[in-house]
Amino acid sequence: MRLLSTLQQRLFRWQSDGVAPIRLGQRRVFIVPSHGGMLFSSALIVMLIGAINYSLALGHALVFLLAGVGLSAMIQTFRNLYGLVITPGRSEPVFAGEIAHFGLTLGNERPTPRLALELSAVADHMVETAIPSQDTVQLTIPLPSTRRGWLDLPKIRLSTRYPLGLFTAWSYLQPAMRCLVYPCPRPDLPPLPAAASDSGDQYGEGGQDDFSGFRERQAADSPRHIAWKANARDDRRPLLVKQFSGGAQGTLILSWSMTPTSLDTEARLSILTGWILAAESAALHYGLELPGSSIPAGRGDAHQRRCLESLALFES
């Protein structure tokens, strides 16, 4: 097995160059008979033996005619891949457990279309496409993500059995592409910590602001903000505190120390991920503090991506 693996690496090492665009030349396209092609060849051999045994001129003609059709199909199968131009695209970040999509552009410079093309990075996620004559097609290669960090695109198998299915032509591609995988938000997310206003009070919990509703009480909430009348109606639910809108702009600093120390690193990162998404959804100004790094308070898609990238690449 070790010898076979070494031979395979030496055979395909020139394909993992990551150069873009990638053009499929003669040395990059391989072709072998398919199961249907093997059955077809076996039938031709039986027919040829019968024609020779019974001296059937029409039998010989039929055998050689079918053999010519098979050879023509072999050439067409090879040409369906030969000369293709593959250009790597980009991939958007995903959360752990989601499907990452790697963009590719397939170019066809021939005046004839390329039909019945199949691409896959893993066996369970096959992508089928066809390219019109002298045109390009953009597609994405799906790849499941299991953990945070960088997800490198493995070898892609590009194959075809067009036109008759008698032969299988394939090529291996490995463009230099990777996708950033964020930590998965924790399902049982603890309540979002309260933000501190610029004046030192907790944001949205009092002062001269307008009343906006209730929320569950947290350990850091002052007892004077508890809605005693609302809690008196139902003593079985958690204590509620009053929320107010307007007033001073609050700043929420999401710190590593806010997460439970009893959890492992991945669980604590999942909590911070959920808090970042919740803070962005609530239009809060928030920052992030991790051991060895910190991100000042901000808001918006770019700020959220920066925080999530910091969590994805965190090393404890």
Question: 175 with 86: CB under 8 angstroms?
Answer: yes
Confidence class for position 228, pLDDT limits 50, 70, 90: low
83: left (phi over 0), alpha (psi -120 to 50) or beta: left
Are 15 and 152 part of one and the same domain? Answer: yes
Are 147 and 209 part of one and the same domain? Answer: no
Last residue of a domain, one of 247, 264, 279: 247
What's residue 251's pLDDT?
A: 82
In a domain, 239, yes or no: yes
The owner of tokens 């609302």 is: 230
Are 163 and 50 part of one and the same domain? Answer: yes
Are 158 and 28 part of one and the same domain? Answer: yes
Q: How many CA atoms lie within 13 A of 81 on its CB side?
A: 29
What's residue 206's pLDDT?
A: 44
Confidence class for position 164, pLDDT limits 50, 70, 90: very high
In a domain, 93, yes or no: yes
In a domain, 65, yes or no: yes
Are 33 and 157 part of one and the same domain? Answer: yes
Question: 120 with 84: CB under 8 angstroms?
Answer: no
In a domain, 227, yes or no: yes
Q: Cα–Cα distance between 228 and 230 in angstroms, integer? A: 6
Are 209 and 154 part of one and the same domain? Answer: no
Cβ count near 37 (within 10 Å): 20
In a domain, 2, yes or no: no
What's residue 216's pLDDT?
A: 67
pLDDT digits (tens, 9 = 90+) for 229-279: 666 666 666 777 666 554 445 688 999 999 999 999 999 999 999 999 999
In a domain, 101, yes or no: yes
Q: Where are the beta strands (DSSP E) in 161-309?
A: 167-173, 178-182, 196-197, 210-216, 240-245, 250-255, 285-290, 293-298
Lowest mean pLDDT among 13-17, 28-32, 231-235, 272-276: 13-17
Average pLDDT over residues 176-195: 88
CATH number at residue 29: 2.60.40.10
What's residue 190's pLDDT?
A: 87
SS3 50: helix
Cβ count near 312 (within 10 Å): 20
Are 227 and 260 part of one and the same domain? Answer: no
* 68's tokens: 């010519």
What's residue 282's pLDDT?
A: 85
Q: Cα–Cα distance between 164 and 70 in angstroms, integer? A: 8
Last residue of a domain, one of 212, 229, 247: 247
What's residue 123's pLDDT?
A: 84
Most confidently modeled range among 164-168, 248-252, 278-282 = 164-168
- For the chain, give the percent of residues with pLDDT over 90: 64
**17 or 46, higher pLDDT:** 46
Are 188 and 243 part of one and the same domain? Answer: no
Confidence class for position 14, pLDDT limits 50, 70, 90: very low
Q: What is the overall mean pLDDT for the chain?
A: 85
Owning domain of residue 210: 204-247
Are 28 and 150 part of one and the same domain? Answer: yes
Confidence class for position 33, pLDDT limits 50, 70, 90: very high
In a domain, 1, yes or no: no
In a domain, 12, yes or no: yes
pLDDT digits (tens, 9 = 90+) for 203-215: 444 444 555 566 6
Give the number of domains in the chain. Answer: 3
Are 116 and 213 part of one and the same domain? Answer: no
Q: Which of 207, 225, 208 is nearest to 216 (CA)?
A: 225
Question: 226 with 307: CB under 8 angstroms?
Answer: no
**67 or 283, higher pLDDT:** 67
Angle at alpha carbon of residue 274, lines to 314 and 220, rounded to 5°: 100
What's residue 192's pLDDT?
A: 83
Q: Does the global pTM surpass 0.85? A: no
What's residue 137's pLDDT?
A: 96
* 259's tokens: 């997460």
pLDDT at 304 over 70: yes
SS3 206: coil
* 183's tokens: 């930590």
What's residue 19's pLDDT?
A: 55
Q: Cα–Cα distance between 225 and 241 in angstroms, integer? A: 5
SS3 12: helix
Are 104 and 44 part of one and the same domain? Answer: yes
Are 308 and 243 part of one and the same domain? Answer: no
pLDDT at 83 over 50: yes
Q: Cα–Cα distance between 162 and 77 in angstroms, integer? A: 5
